[in-house]
Amino acid sequence: MKKLILVRHAKSDWPEETEDFDRPLADKGLAEAMHMSRFMKNNNVAIDYFVSSPAVRALNTCKIFNQAYHLTITTNEKLYNPSESNFESVIYDLDDNVSSVAFFSHNNGISNFANSISEDIFHFPTCGVAGFEIDCNSWSEFEGAKKKLLFFYDPGKI
């Protein structure tokens, strides 16, 4: 069994003359990310590896989560403005030693991807987190594997 955790970046700001890629987290986003990461760690949500969009708001969300988890972080540009196939491409590149991975990414792609692998209807709020159990031994088996929603956390409701 593998676990895939999808995390939408926390609430961001959009200062004047700032490119989309360089948008920072808002103060609310910093608080959301700290709250959510502690909640997940305190509820024993195991994660082995973080992969983040390189965009500032996603990577900073990932770094805040890493204050609780202390893992290796990698970035993958496929998680910035992603399509469903971008997520799958990143999944297929994972090492099979990784049992549980968290992807830090953006809407609409992250919601669309979650909807493509689940019968539940998703619209991720900022810093929303969904966890899936993937019935496979190798990430290469992802497409045909049975997928089960384990949890969906909205930071405004925890």
Q: Provide the annotated binding site for substrate.
A: 57
CA angle (144 as vertex; 44, 135 as ends), nearest 5: 25
* Residue of 60, 55, 69, 57 lying closest to 5 (CA atoms): 69
Pairing verdict, β 2-8 and 129-134:
antiparallel
The number of residues making up the chain comes to: 158
Q: Which residue numbers belong to the known binding site?
A: 57
Q: What is d(CA 158, CA 73) in angstroms, rounded to the nearest whole number? A: 25
**Per-residue tokens: 48:** 């082995």
